[in-house]
Amino acid sequence: MAMSAAAVNDVAAWILLALAIALSGSGSPLVSLWVLLSGGGFVVFAALFLRPMLAWMARHSPEGEPVKEVYICATLSIVLVAGFVTDTIGIHALFGAFVVGIVVPKEGPFARVLIEKVEDLISGLFLPLYFVSSGLKTNVATISGGISWALLALVIFNACLGKIGGTIIASLTMKVPFREAVTLGFLMNTKGLVELIVLNVGKDRKVLNDETFAIMVLMALFTTFITTPIVMGIYKPAQQAANYKHRKIERGDTDSELRVLACFHGSRNIPTLINLIESSRGTRRRGVTIYTMHLMELSERSSAIFMVHKARRNGLPFWNSKKDAAGSDLGGDQVVVAFQAYQQLSHVTVRPMTAISDLRTIHEDVVTSAQRKRVALIILPFHKTQQLDGSMESIGHQYQQANQRVLLHAPCSVAILVDRGLGGFAQVSASEVSYSIVVLFFGGSDDREALAYGLRMAEHPGIAVTVLRFVSQPGGPSFVTGDGKVGIPMDADQRTNDENCISRLRERMSANAGVSVKLEEKVVAGKEEIVSVIKEAGRCNLFLVGQRTVVMPLTARLECPELGPVGSYLGESNSTTASVLVIKQHDPLSVSEALVEEVDEDYVVLDTPIAGGSSLRRP
């Protein structure tokens, strides 16, 4: 809303600027009339002739194909000619370029590619130089004496009162909530490039003297600087979602539907993610529903802001649900095509989404979506990727911090996937799936969650699961002792739950319930023996391990605490060739702060699809 209102505001500012330039001329009134009529004629010409021409270029630039360079060059030439024409008319040259920008069609990839082509040169070079030139023209020393400073305060007060007050009144008239109205008012109160151009034109035309120009520039700076802290202080949209039951994989109702939110950074993660989804679908009546979320960093680049403007819906990640005439999905993000193809070939419901946020707040999108979609498991990509030599290279510390924040605030179980190419770096068809999966069981709720997930995967006919249960030597030292002891407290209830879990596993194996599961108990005394057992099982395709495993750290330094003691070892370079899934079971007591307010189901709109279909469920 703020971006749309600001665009309309800029259009009005340009019109007023053209009028001011026309009226400020020192010649005959006919000259002012000529400027006004010529400016209006240029706008009409752009709407009637330039827009169809640019629309033709946009139509011949389909999604998924590169935009022809001749279209880019032609568009930039039109921008230069338009600027020359408006400058010749007597209006500022930027007015012509602004009008061309308005008539460029925003649908399709044409506008996005055009922004990407020019934003580095403009934002990195030309725009800073323009601000420098404006700063050189500003002489703050001309503001001297009490009258000048009082005039500055009066200008700031009137500017804020007019813009903020007017926006609030208009918003309240349109039934906008008061807090949102105040926020919109402060956002509209910022002064940007258009205002600076107006001031420079006024100074060049001798309408503003040095003192007035300096006062207006300081007013623009002040109103812009106060926006961020005030908006952050008064506005934080409250997300609401209905309470739900199944927040973890380990559950008594094993035939219930499993909902998973699988996140990824780019196309490189997709094959492993699809193979993991295929392995997880099981054979239960209600199956599995997958929500995939493409995590994209929001930068200050114009292309990123343009992408957000097209993609976001009410501050939440959007559904790629645009339909063509035949009713098929047309996701703007090409990486979702693989998930759509997988859904067509399987009985798994896949709903692709995209989250575009700053890395410091992207966890809020993940947590909010998980709550609203009622998922039981969030799968996050590890912040390190495997290189050709087997080493793991970090893509950025902020990605690691984002994962850690999701672990703190998640409303369900969370898993971090260390991707080493599960099934290779291509999607494997269901009939060709043949994986060996090892569950490392030391004890505790997280290990039970990993085991529950492994048993579900074992329902797939092409998957063999081996459960390695580590036990201490009778009368010998325990592998959970030592100064580096980590994990959850192992009280009597935890040990009882572990024994019951293993007992149910043995009963399931003896009943031979159509699953390929093998249980092996490994007696170990210390870290070296644990590492030796893990290396022996390293020929598998995937390790499943709990995050808060009750075992001493297996590495000299715990660089990745979000993986836990065993996961950190398996996530190291060259520790294994298998992918690793580190799982943390949901614990309501460990959630540091709820980012989503849970309300009664009657007060929220449910947007979760029915299992086995793609329709939306509404109350």
Residues 332-352 have pLDDT tens digits of 455 667 777 777 777 777 888
Higher-pLDDT residue of 537 and 21 is 537
> From residue 367, how far is each of 239, 266, 380 by CA, in Å?
10, 20, 11
What six digits make up the tokens of 437?
């999966």
Identify whether the C-beta of residue 501 lies closer than 8 Å to the C-beta of residue 451: yes
Q: How far apart are CA 185 and CA 193, in angstroms?
A: 18
Radius of gyration of the chain (CA): 30
CA torsion angle for 547, 248, 404, 240 (degrees, to 10)?
Answer: -170
What's the confidence (pLDDT) of residue 284? 59
**How far is CA 578 from each of CA 272, 399, 544, 555, rounded to the nearest angstrom?**
11, 22, 10, 18
Q: How far apart are CA 530 and CA 523, in angstroms?
A: 9
On whether the 241-433+591-619 domain is CATH 3.40.50.620, my answer is: yes
Q: What is the pLDDT of residue 592?
A: 62
Please give the average per-residue pLDDT across 158-185, as a whole number.
88
Cα dihedral 157, 160, 161, 162, rounded to 10, equals 120
Q: How far is CA 81 from CA 40, 44, 86, 153, in A?
A: 17, 16, 9, 41
Distance CA 6, CA 8 (A): 5
According to DSSP, residue 561 is labeled G
pLDDT tens, position by position, 57-107: 988 888 767 888 899 899 999 999 999 998 888 777 888 888 898 899 887
The reported pLDDT for the residue numbered 486 is: 45
For the question of whether the overall pTM of this predicted structure is more than 0.85, the answer is no
pLDDT bracket for residue 619 (50, 70, 90): very low
Question: pLDDT tier at 316 (50, 70, 90 boundaries)?
Answer: very low
Residue 89: which residues within 8 A CB-CB, separation 6 or more? 34, 35, 38, 39, 42
* Residues 353, 369 contacting (CB under 8 angstroms): yes
Q: Inform me whether the pLDDT recorded for 600 exceeds 60.
A: no
Average pLDDT for the chain: 79
Cα–Cα separations (whole angstroms), residue 291 to 102, 319, 352, 497, 551: 36, 10, 6, 31, 33
Cβ(393)–Cβ(288) below 8 Å: no
- 319 has a pLDDT exceeding 70: no
**Given a cut of 60, is residue 290 above it in pLDDT?**
yes
Angle, helix 93-103 to helix 29-45, in steps of 10 degrees: 30
Please count the residues of the chain: 619
State pLDDT tens for residues 99-123.
898 899 887 788 888 888 887 788 7
Helices (H) and strands (E) in the chain, counts: 21, 15
> In which band, very low, low, confident or very high, does the pLDDT at 609 lie, cut at 50, 70 and 90?
very low
> Could you say which DSSP state residue 50 is in?
I
Q: Does domain 434-586 have CATH number 3.30.420.40?
A: no
pLDDT value for 30: 75
Distance in angstroms (rounded) separating the CA atoms of residues 29 and 190: 35
Rounded Cα gap, residues 615 and 50, in angstroms? 41
Q: Is the pLDDT of residue 485 over 80?
A: no
pLDDT of residue 380: 94
Bridge partners (DSSP) listed for residue 416 = 380, 582
More confident residue, 25 or 215: 215
Interatomic CA distance for residues 342 and 557, integer angstroms: 40
Query: What is the reported pLDDT for 26?
Result: 56
Report residue 610's pLDDT band, with 50, 70 and 90 as the boundaries. Answer: very low
Mean pLDDT of 468-475: 80
pLDDT for res 154: 93
Which amino acid is residue 278, in one-letter code? Answer: E
- Range in 140-149, 380-389, 446-455, 603-612 with the lowest mean pLDDT: 603-612
From the list 266, 309, 222, the residue with the least C-alpha distance to 1 is 309
Give pLDDT, residue 153: 92
Render pLDDT for 178-226 as a digit per residue (tens, 0 to 9).
888 888 888 888 877 777 887 887 787 777 888 988 998 899 889 888 8
Q: Could you report how far apart the first and last alpha carbons of the chain are, in Å?
A: 27
> With DSSP H G I counted as helix, E B as strand and the rest as coil, what are the percentages for the chain, rounded to 5?
50, 15, 35
| DSSP state at residue 316 | B
**What is the average pLDDT across 318-340?**
50
Closest CA to 568 of 549, 540, 587: 549
Residue indicated by tokens 């099981």: 282
Determine the pLDDT at residue 614: 36
Look up residue 523 and give its two tokens.
Answer: 């007696």
Q: Dump the DSSP string for 445-478.
A: HHHHHHHHHHHHHTTSTTEEEEEEEEEEPTTS--
**Sign of the alpha-carbon torsion through 390, 395, 400, 405:** negative
- pLDDT(378) > 90: yes
Cβ atoms of 444 and 488 closer than 8 Å: yes
Compute the distance between CA of residue 521 and CA of residue 588 in angstroms, rounded to an integer.
31
Within 10 angstroms of residue 209's Cβ, the number of other Cβ atoms is: 12
pLDDT at 529 over 90: no
Q: Is the pLDDT of residue 149 over 80?
A: yes
Q: Per-domain residue ranges for the chain? A: 2-234, 241-433+591-619, 434-586
Q: What is the mean pLDDT of residues 156-161?
A: 90
Residue 321 has pLDDT above 70, yes or no: no
Instruction: Please give the pLDDT value at position 80.
Output: 93
Structure-token match 């100064």, residue found: 483
pLDDT in tens, 548-583: 887 877 877 788 889 988 888 888 877 788 899 999
Sequence-distant (≥ 6) Cβ neighbours of residue 367 within 8 angstroms: 406, 409, 410, 411, 595, 596
Listed in order, strand segments (DSSP E) in 474-527 are: 517-524
Q: How far is CA 579 from CA 386, 390, 550, 570, 575, in A?
A: 10, 12, 21, 9, 11
pLDDT exceeds cutoff 80 at 320: no
- Whether residue 330 is predicted with pLDDT greater than 50 in this model: the reply is no
pLDDT at 48 over 90: yes
**Is it true that 241-433+591-619 and 434-586 share their CATH fold?**
yes
What's 2-234's CATH class?
mainly alpha
Token output for 500: 């019951």
Better pLDDT: 395 or 109: 395
